[in-house]
């Protein structure tokens, strides 16, 4: 359990969330004299490394942040999932989230909220204030509560997200898109901050995750063309931090955080291919079009990132594994996953395989994968049934890491190490003098 020894409570909270920004990266940049506004804020608060969630992807992490619960309770286990008793894939949204969010609870208690661009908030739920959905939303007209503010955002040229497909064709165009998207998001935030009363305000920046995915390796290897533009984007972020820091009144607690860390991708690893090579997965069509082409003799299949399902009779439509044999087969697959090695170095690809009941609990546990493979940093686990390659390198040169997110709380001292992202929701409720629901898994960290 993590906790802060605090000064008297402030009643308003401003959260600026930076998707996928590592604690270690910020430390390194500040030690080199960069990010001066952040460095000043660190001097005024408590800055610590924070753990994310498994699997370490934004959809799951921000669902955990906003509910204070593990995925077994909130029901979001990945960017993609399959429908129960089916191999049909879908993308989970807020409709699949089975828990109330932080801003819904605050709204019920009469607090006024403004929430901008947080992932997995689409379709939008009603709040006492303003909610502009982020990642997964595609149409701005359908991404706001109340609906009428969409017109105001359109007039500003507001963008929900950058066009990441550009990065595969032109990093220069991608960088320009990142800059403009961020500028217009800040314009919208300033507009609402000037005109709305609020008790809780959150601005989410998705661009940090986007640039890290496509340029992290270039930064680490000091690419002559792209290291400087990469760092320039973070300097733009730093200027924004300074601007909001100067705007905060004394009754506001300012929180900065990320949902996971980042590292360079050594190799993408297609676990569907590995299961095929081990004989645990077969397809009736060659090549298969989708997971729905799975052969009834298959023992296991996978969804990204690193979620392994046992193809069990009575649960899957083409199940082959008898429930009485479930534990044996699951153990066999888990052991086999740990045997996977990088062919170039002999390095272990997967450092641990967790059984679902070891990391999740709650009414949605039945939806979770049977096994969750936790990769060694640098091995990005995929699940493409169409690709024949087990290992490859693509345009995605950065990947998420579990234990290198960050948390900065201004005006707080002596933060203990052991903070998890699920701790933030109850912590913020406590800061705002709102009772924490008994069913949350996170603990008040103040």
The pLDDT of residue 222 is 86
Q: Would you call 228 helix, strand, or coil by DSSP?
A: helix
More confidently predicted of 352 and 162: 352
Q: In the CATH scheme, what is the code of domain 12-265+401-431? A: 3.40.720.10
CA 351 to chain centre: 21
Lowest mean pLDDT among 5-19, 40-54, 181-195: 5-19
The pLDDT of residue 224 is 85
Neighbours of 306 (CB within 10 A): 28
The pLDDT of residue 416 is 60
Structure confidence at residue 1 as a pLDDT band (50, 70, 90):
very low
Mean pLDDT of 192-218: 96
More confidently predicted of 25 and 4: 25
- Is the pLDDT assigned to residue 204 strictly greater than 80? yes
Structure confidence at residue 9 as a pLDDT band (50, 70, 90):
low
- Compute the mean pLDDT over every residue in the chain, rounded to the nearest whole number: 94
The pLDDT of residue 400 is 97
Distance CA 22, CA 404 (A): 5
Mean pLDDT of 57-62: 97
Residue 418 token pair: 């052991």
More confidently predicted of 82 and 307: 307
- Is residue 22 within 8 A of residue 261, CB to CB? The reply is yes
> Whose CA is closest to 420, among 391, 440, 396, 439?
440
The pLDDT of residue 415 is 61
Where along the chain do its domains lie?
12-265+401-431, 267-392
The pLDDT of residue 42 is 96
Residue 94 token pair: 């807020």
Return all residues near 175 (Cβ < 8 A) that are at least 6 apart.
211, 229, 233
pLDDT, tens digit (0-9, with 9 covering 90-100), for 135-187: 989 889 899 999 999 999 999 999 999 888 888 888 999 999 999 999 999 99
- Is the pLDDT assigned to residue 7 strictly greater than 80? no
DSSP string for 229-288: HHHHHHHHHHHHHHHHHHH--TTEEEEEE-S-EEEE-SEEEEHHHHHHHHTS--BSSSS-
pLDDT, tens digit (0-9, with 9 covering 90-100), for 266-279: 999 999 999 999 99
- Is the pLDDT assigned to residue 2 strictly greater than 60? no
More confidently predicted of 434 and 414: 434
- Is the pLDDT assigned to residue 4 strictly greater than 60? no
- Is the pLDDT assigned to residue 251 strictly greater than 70? yes
Neighbours of 34 (CB within 10 A): 15
Burial 87-98 (b: 16+ CB within 10 A, else e): beeeebbbebbb
Share of the chain above pLDDT 70, in %: 96
Edge-first strand order for the sheet with 419-420 is 144-145, 129-132, 113-116, 200-205, 12-18, 252-257, 405-410, 45-51, 419-420
Mean pLDDT of 224-243: 95
- Is residue 274 within 8 A of residue 381, CB to CB? The reply is no
pTM comes to: 0.94
Distance CA 255, CA 253 (A): 6
The residue behind tokens 């909270």 is 13
Mean pLDDT of 329-356: 97
More confidently predicted of 446 and 172: 172
Length of the chain: 446
The pLDDT of residue 10 is 59
The pLDDT of residue 239 is 98
Distance CA 337, CA 221 (A): 30
The pLDDT of residue 414 is 60
Tell me if the domain spanning 267-392 has CATH number 3.30.1360: yes
The pLDDT of residue 6 is 47
pLDDT, tens digit (0-9, with 9 covering 90-100), for 62-115: 999 999 999 999 999 999 999 989 999 999 999 999 999 999 999 999 999 999
């Amino acid at each position: 359990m993590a906790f802060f020894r605090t000064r008297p409570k402030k009643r308003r909270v401003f959260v600026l969330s930076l998707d996928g920004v590592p604690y270690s990266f910020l430390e390194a940049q500040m030690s080199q004299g960069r990010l001066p506004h952040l460095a000043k804020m660190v001097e005024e608060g408590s800055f610590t490394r924070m753990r994310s969630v498994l699997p370490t992807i934004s959809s799951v992490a921000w669902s955990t942040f906003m509910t204070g619960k593990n995925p077994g309770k909130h029901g979001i286990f990945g960017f993609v999932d399959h429908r129960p008793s089916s191999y049909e894939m879908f993308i989970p949204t807020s409709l699949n989230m089975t828990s109330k969010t932080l801003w819904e609870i605050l709204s019920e208690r009469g607090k006024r909220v403004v929430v901008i661009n947080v992932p997995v908030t689409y379709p939008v739920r009603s709040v006492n204030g303003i909610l502009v959905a982020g990642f997964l939303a595609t149409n701005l007209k359908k991404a706001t509560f109340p609906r009428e503010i969409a017109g105001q955002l359109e007039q500003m040229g507001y963008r929900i997200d950058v066009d990441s497909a550009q990065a595969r064709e032109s990093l220069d165009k991608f960088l320009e898109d990142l800059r403009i998207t961020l500028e217009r998001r800040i314009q919208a935030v300033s507009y609402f901050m000037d005109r709305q009363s609020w008790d809780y305000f959150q601005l989410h920046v998705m661009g940090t995750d986007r640039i890290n995915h496509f340029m992290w390796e270039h930064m680490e290897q000091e690419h002559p063309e792209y290291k400087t533009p990469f760092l320039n984007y973070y300097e733009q972020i730093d200027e924004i931090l300074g601007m909001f820091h100067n705007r905060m009144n004394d009754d506001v607690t300012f929180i900065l955080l990320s949902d996971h860390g980042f590292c360079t991708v050594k190799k993408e690893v297609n676990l569907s291919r590995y299961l095929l090579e081990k004989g645990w997965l077969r397809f009736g069509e060659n090549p298969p079009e989708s997971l729905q082409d799975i052969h009834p003799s298959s023992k296991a299949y996978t969804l990204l990132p690193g979620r392994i399902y046992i193809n069990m009779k009575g649960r899957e439509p083409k199940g082959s594994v008898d429930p009485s044999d479930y534990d044996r087969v699951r153990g066999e697959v888990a052991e086999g996953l740990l045997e996977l090695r990088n062919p170039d170095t002999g390095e272990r690809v997967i450092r641990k395989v967790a059984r679902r009941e070891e990391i999740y609990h709650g009414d949605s546990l039945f939806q979770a994968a049977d096994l969750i493979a936790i990769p060694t940093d640098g091995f990005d686990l995929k699940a493409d049934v169409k690709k024949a390659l087990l290992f490859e390198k693509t345009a995605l040169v950065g990947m998420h890491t579990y234990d290198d997110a960050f948390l900065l709380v201004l005006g707080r001292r002596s933060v203990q190490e052991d903070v998890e992202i699920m701790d933030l929701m109850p912590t913020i409720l406590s800061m705002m003098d709102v009772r924490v629901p008994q069913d949350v898994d996170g603990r008040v960290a103040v």
